Structure 1
Amino acid sequence: MLKIGVTGGIGSGKSTVTDYFSALGITIVDTDVIAREAVEPGTDCLEKIVEHFGKMMLQDNLTLDRAKLRELIFSRPAEKKWLEQLTHPVIRNVTIARLNAAQSPYVILSSPLLLETGQNALVDRVVVVDVSEEQQLERASLRDDVGAHGIKSIIQNQISRQNRLARTDDIIDNSGDLNSTRKQVEDLHQRYLSML
């Protein structure tokens, strides 16, 4: 089965793009969703996170305080590495299983860290959803409760826009309106169907 990786920086509009592919009947395997599932209450990953960082990482409802954890790991590279070594193998195994179980004509792997984590080895083609850094900041600020400094930190921890664009097969320019983005998705959809 043809596997397409979709990536882009924070606030680039990956979810908008994958929603359009989904509306065309394409299965989306989203590593953000899998990452959240990997640390749900009762999972080994969450237990190990609490053992390592303490109960302060839990919210009142015993779910992971993702904002607190994100803030901590982006300021401490060694802790970020520890967390990645814990969660990335779990995320990778579930991702592979879901890609292999897909029933649509081709499947999309949506991952903000597709290139950084080597997940691009799981796909046949890479699509980058691209916008300027200014648009990333603006869109992510409206959506996330992180603040400009936090968003800039996330951007700096992701692969650079230039590197991302240099390693792609297809680009969706998401700097325009939604109709423009939808048309680009539909065009790529037809191209991918023709490759089957």
Structure 2
Amino acid sequence: MRRLGLTGGIGSGKSTVGKFLAEAGGALVDADALSRASTASQGEATSAVAQIFGPEFLDAHGALDRARMRSLVFSDLSARARLEAIVHPIVLRGIAERAAAARRAGARLLVLDIPLLVESGRWAREVDAVLVVDCLEETQIERVMQRSAMTREQVQSVINAQASRRQRRAVADAVVFNDGLSLSELEAKTLTLVQGLAL
């Protein structure tokens, strides 16, 4: 089984590219989805979040209060590290479990959708190739503002906290430039690039 690392900044279209790869037969493991599940109501990380940050960081349903936590981590870098220390081991275990299941099922391609692939410093060494989804920063901002309640300043803060476009492209074996493409064009470009990687 070959392992493809998929990454891109917020609003780049990475999740859409992951969906196309899954539809084409790849076994997709979404690290973001695992992270969100761990901090949802009854999630594996919620009790530790309440213990370390305080019960006010959970909402009325017992899930992580994302807006409150977002405000904290962008004003306090140590808070981000504390949150990651809770969530990352859960996500890594989930990735390993799903990768093993894909191997047992006979999958030929495992697609690891890792938003922080570059920042982590480890994943680029653990995959056979890296596919980066890239677009202009202004496009990222507009897309995220359209789909969420985040302000321009909040989106910019997320972009600033992530690896730069240059840093992502530096580790890429292939880049999908997703600006001004229709969904069908994005799908065709993605599948052509992945075929070119001979995975």
What TM-score does the superposition give when structure 1 sets the normalisation length?
Answer: 0.92
Q: What is the root-mean-square deviation of aligned Cα atoms in Å?
A: 1.5
Which residue number in structure 2 is paired with residue 184 of structure 1?
189
After superposition, residues 15-26 of structure 1 pair within 5 angstroms as 15-26=15-26
SS at match of 1:10: coil
1:128 is aligned, of 132, 135, 138, to 132
SS at match of 2:119: coil
Aligned residues: 194
Which residue number in structure 2 is paired with residue 151 of structure 1?
155
Once residues 149 and 126 of structure 2 are traced to their aligned partners in structure 1, the CA distance between those partners, rounded to angstroms, is 32
Q: What is the CA deviation profile of residues 119-147 of structure 1, one whole-angstrom value per residue up to 9, with x for unaligned ones?
A: 33331111000101011111111112221
Once residues 170 and 145 of structure 2 are traced to their aligned partners in structure 1, the CA distance between those partners, rounded to angstroms, is 26
2:6–2:113 CA contact under 8 A, matched in 1: yes
SS at match of 2:117: coil
Which residue number in structure 1 is paired with residue 168 of structure 2?
164
Once residues 97 and 129 of structure 2 are traced to their aligned partners in structure 1, the CA distance between those partners, rounded to angstroms, is 19
Corresponding letter in the other structure for 1:111: I
Once residues 98 and 180 of structure 2 are traced to their aligned partners in structure 1, the CA distance between those partners, rounded to angstroms, is 32
SS at match of 2:118: coil
Once residues 37 and 137 of structure 1 are traced to their aligned partners in structure 2, the CA distance between those partners, rounded to angstroms, is 25
Which residue number in structure 2 is paired with residue 59 of structure 1?
59
Corresponding letter in the other structure for 2:155: I
Query: Structure 1 stretches of 5 or more lacking a match?
Result: none
Which residue number in structure 1 is paired with residue 36 of structure 2?
36
Once residues 60 and 42 of structure 1 are traced to their aligned partners in structure 2, the CA distance between those partners, rounded to angstroms, is 12
Corresponding letter in the other structure for 2:59: Q
Corresponding letter in the other structure for 1:137: I
Corresponding letter in the other structure for 1:148: R
Which residue number in structure 1 is paired with residue 73 of structure 2?
73
Does the C-alpha gap of structure 1 residues 119 and 67 become closer, same or farther in structure 2, counting only changes over 3 Å? farther
What TM-score does the superposition give when structure 2 sets the normalisation length?
Answer: 0.91
Q: What is the CA deviation profile of residues 29-53 of structure 1, one whole-angstrom value per residue up to 9, with x for unaligned ones?
A: 0001110122233445211111122
Query: Structure 2 stretches of 5 or more lacking a match?
Result: none
Does the C-alpha gap of structure 1 residues 100 and 83 become closer, same or farther in structure 2, counting only changes over 3 Å? same
Q: CA deviation at 1:82?
A: 1.0
